[in-house]
Structure 1
């Protein structure tokens, strides 16, 4: 059964004088899914969100939000949005700021208290926003977006400033929102942040789509590899190909980089080819290295060691 579309962009383009911020971008987000717009600063993510929300008029193309089957009821606030900048007054206290937005939206004080508890802001409700760290301000902006209990969420960099525990809570909330039939479209500057929750990725480079599809498909196109030093790399590659492991690349240093084969399968192929293995190293491809390759922004340092030596064979 085909899911109704919660968000759709068709050929969206936005030009500011001589600068094209978004260039012919098309994508759809089915209801009940979490989708992520990913790219470096200046890739066009926030501009896209603002066109979807009707805050910016596209130079060309179409944008639509909601529709039959997406959980939007007549008279309901369909979309909850958190944009950058957050739109929070630094001199206001947390509770007062949330209450201002609640009053404008016709939301009760009980809902305000509920959201303070949900976003773990109760203890700072009496503090001024300008004195709070970025992660707390992010959670307050999220609480504002959730005031009307909207089925559709548009969240610009919702993990900004959050620590590991807060990010895990956010991921749990968004997964639960999708299970309840809601839909979320969020942005991120890093792939590693959104991979745990995104069903669909739209990677942007200078306003254009550099990749669109599932995280699994992206991972398959950038797999981890075993780097092998062998007495005859060519004989080993030939045997691996005969066994169905065709993704083996010779590196400039003479090592064979093999994808999809396990250590046991590699050793078996070496035995069949009568090739001696002298070293096997596992190369982990960090998600943000993949993003850097897609967006031509250079290769950032991985968040964990890139490789680990299994052992030396004699």
Structure 2
């Protein structure tokens, strides 16, 4: 099946020689919810802008496959871009008319995003989470099969993030496709089928399923004992070969239970001092992949001419 999104060798350099993205390649299959994850300055917004044709590429190519409905792509961009003196309803009416969408879609997207009771409010009176939902409502006016969302959870409370994750799952179950950006694996993992992790050098540090990333970075049990080498040998004889002796001489074991470790220690005649769980936080994994992006200069972002209203259907 033809990918919904194809990116090949995408590189974007700005006039001051800042690299916004470097040799980025990935495919997103139809019906997939994909997350583009990375620290600030890793090129996420640059890639989104390039996908939507808002930034010319230095090298490489991007392809978006169309689909059902009158608008193939719905996009949420930053900044929000809501008119300061226009209510949410009037904002949506303007964009519905501009996109040739029927007036009934305004009421529909307000209902979908839970903004019906706030439709008469101007942006200054909205919470950041409500602004994000208003932008998503704009993107949904054309009922697009492909959604490209740049940091859609920014400003959202936990309940709103949970709502958005549920919405994205429903969208993909209906056959739609989603690519969204985020700075945190914690936000991505509950909903993403596919991950593209960008490192501090604006290159792809990981690409694949969340399950494969988890297998590469498992939770471990940390064992303090009289002989880490002896326990590791006894565990390996039982098939538990993923064990690492840490600098403090404790053994970090993946795949084995506490009972397995106790049995191996008894067989090896090793005295156990402690067995402590070491749960791997997703953003600890992200940090190991991205190598602390703080040392990398931030890119200039989108030029002013491309700072179009947040939430666009085309």
Offset at residue 298 of structure 1 (A): 7.8
- Residue by residue over 1:180-213, the C-alpha shift from the partner in whole angstroms, topping out at 9 and shown as x without a partner, is 1110000001111010111111111231111111
Question: What is the match of residue 274 of structure 2?
Answer: 279
1:5 and 2:3 equivalent? yes
Give the alignment of 1:74-153 within 5 angstroms.
76-153=70-147
Q: Secondary structure of 1:5's match?
A: coil
- Structure 1 length normalisation: TM-score? 0.90
> 1:15 aligned to 2:16?
no
**CA contact under 8 A between 1:154 and 1:186: conserved in structure 2?**
yes
Structure 2 SS opposite 1:211? strand
Residue in 2 that maps onto 1:291? 286
2:202 aligned with 1:207, yes or no?
A: yes
The normalised TM-score by structure 2 is 0.90
SS in 1 for 2:273: strand
Aligned with 2:286: secondary structure?
Answer: helix
Contact 2:39 2:293 in 1 (8 A): no
Unaligned runs of 5+ in 2: 295-314
Check conservation: 1:89, 1:130, Cα contact below 8 A: no
Looking at structure 1, the residues matched to 55 and 125 of structure 2 have their Cα atoms a distance apart, in angstroms, of 31
Give the counterpart of 1:72 among 38, 46, 68: 68
Question: Is residue 244 from structure 1 mapped to residue 239 from structure 2 by the alignment?
Answer: yes
- 1:168 equivalent in alignment to 2:162: yes
| 1:61 aligned counterpart, secondary structure | strand
Shift of 1:131: 2.3
Measure the CA separation in 2 of the matches of 1:44 and 1:232. Answer: 46
Q: Secondary structure at the match of 1:171?
A: helix
Please give the root-mean-square deviation of Cα atoms over the aligned residues, in Å.
Answer: 1.4
- Aligned-pair CA distance for 1:12: 0.6
Instruction: Compare 5-14 and 273-282 and name the one that shifted more.
Output: 273-282
Alignment: residue pair count? 292
Shift of residue 107, structure 1, vs aligned partner = 1.8
Higher relative contact order, structure no. (Cα contacts within 8 Å, ≥ 6 residues apart): 2
